[in-house]
Amino acid sequence: MIPVRGYTGRKVAVLGLGRSGLATARALQAGGALPLVWDDSPESRARAEAEGFAPFDLTRNAAFDDVAALIVSPGIPHLYPAPNAVIARALELGVPVDNDIGLFFRSFATRDWDGFDQMPRVICVTGSNGKSTTTALIRHIVAEAGRPVHMAGNIGRGVLDLPPAEDGTVVVLELSSYQTELARALTPDVAVFTNLSPDHLDRHGGMGGYFAAKRRLFTQGGPDRCVIGVDEVEGRFLANQMSVAPEDDRVIRISAAARLEGPGWSVFARKGFLSEWRKGRQIASIDLREMPGLPGAHNHQNACAAYAATRTLGLSPRLIEGALASFAGLPHRSQLVGEAEGVRFVNDSKATNVDSAAKALQAFPRIRWIAGGMGKEGGIVSLQPHLGAVAKAYLIGHSAREFALQLAGTPHEICETMDQAVARAAEEAEPGDTVLLAPAAASFDQYPDFEKRGEHFTALVAARLAGRH
């Protein structure tokens, strides 16, 4: 646990008692603060009571008397489309609103660090797609190098649940736009921006607000190194803002779409090869094509980001190459879950929007595509340019018929359920095919979350493959 500093003897309100909220309450208490906890959900309040925290109704009059700050969980709207009523009241009264990420950066460094031989480092990863894989990949590389490393934030555990730093500890945080937008302190040693595509626009008042939330990770605290994906104009703009000269190697530009030029530091992937260039010279090259945990151009972008971030720690290209090769991938993200008779089965249940589905559809040469669920605005019309490798689509869930109308000439079948889709795709698959779950839709029509959807797909594949032996 990271005890929160700066609030000894002060009341601090905590709104939202999920994983991060409860961790925040514990860390505040450990630091000598008096946490006042609240959640609209009776079940969440009961969990807090079981840990010894008496719920304090933050909606009542005078709830903020003598309160030093309000700490908010990331799922609670604080600005758009409208602030939560408790947050709105705090804003009216001038009570500072923060989150656990801000508290972490205020509290992580301690005087104990004066005795360390190697200073702890914090690497933060944000962006629209690939954050989780990039974060996990950085953690894997650092672990392979033998350094103490922890992963937290939007993946794994709450940041304040982390243990205090040891000599040489590396902390890798995945941060969503909700987290970067609200944190009052953001001071990573290395900040990573993977890419940007439309998402959460209602929470940020449009694309400009969404980008501004991500950008705060770089402009708020001034990281020592920036790793920035420049395949979109926003990334190119951000890299330009963070550089003071073309040769400024505090900024590492990364790309999975183009060969990067210029005298600065860059890492890019083309035709399956990762290249590192610095001061106009190539430093290293890595063949990514046969690395099973990193299929497709989108994962090659993740590899570039992780490679660049870990190079800033002084790790060698050869060590990083070995770690990339041994990375098994994350569940539900281009995860190979089975293979038989030349047919691969890949679980990309996390592909809940068309942008992430497009990346998955470009990763394999011939695809039996399982798609559908609770479709988002616009459906899958924008995927038309990316359907060239699809031999046939097997459509499930609420939007199956809508998706069928948008597939034009692509062969397809309405299967309704995952069971039927897996059975039909497996029956028709030929050697060299990939049966790919990349739904391009939310899961809530049939599953509580994308994880449960991916687990069902994986279980069906396992049962089917077991029946062949």
Chain segment 396-445, per-residue pLDDT in tens: 999 999 999 999 899 999 999 999 999 999 999 999 999 999 999 999 99
Question: Which CATH class, in words, describes the domain spanning 335-463?
Answer: alpha beta
Report whether pLDDT(451) > 90. Answer: yes
Span 312-319, average pLDDT: 97
Q: Is 52 annotated as a binding residue?
A: no
Q: Is 299 annotated as a binding residue?
A: no
Report whether pLDDT(469) > 70. Answer: no
Q: Is 169 annotated as a binding residue?
A: no
The pLDDT of residue 399 is 96
The pLDDT of residue 167 is 96
Phi, psi dihedral angles at 113 (to 5 degrees): -65, -20
Span 374-394, average pLDDT: 95
Instruction: Report the candidate in 402, 348, 347 with the shortest Cα–Cα distance to residue 374.
Output: 402
Q: Is 132 annotated as a binding residue?
A: yes
Going by pLDDT thresholds of 50, 70 and 90, the confidence category of residue 468 is low
Instruction: Report the candidate in 122, 80, 74 with the shortest Cα–Cα distance to residue 97.
Output: 74
3-state secondary structure of 59: coil
Span 260-284, average pLDDT: 96
Q: Evaluate whether 348 touches 282 at the Cβ level (below 8 Å).
A: no
Q: Give the tens place of pLDDT for each residue, 82-113.
A: 999 999 999 999 999 999 999 999 999 999 99
Q: Is 397 annotated as a binding residue?
A: no
| Domain limits, the chain | 11-98, 105-326, 335-463
Neighbours of 317 (CB within 10 A): 16
Q: Which CATH superfamily is domain 105-326 in?
A: Mur-like, catalytic domain (3.40.1190.10)
Q: Is 130 annotated as a binding residue?
A: yes
Q: Is 153 annotated as a binding residue?
A: no
pTM of the model: 0.86
The pLDDT of residue 296 is 84
The pLDDT of residue 36 is 98
Span 369-394, average pLDDT: 95
Domain 11-98 classified CATH 3.40.50.720? yes
CA 38 from chain centre, in angstroms, equals 27
Distance CA 177, CA 195 (A): 12
The pLDDT of residue 84 is 95
Q: Which residue has the tokens 């038309």?
A: 384
Average model confidence (pLDDT) for the chain?
A: 95
What's the number of CA atoms in the CB half-sphere (13 Å) around residue 241? 17
Mark out the alpha helices in 123-259 (DSSP H runs).
131-144, 177-182, 201-204, 207-219, 233-242
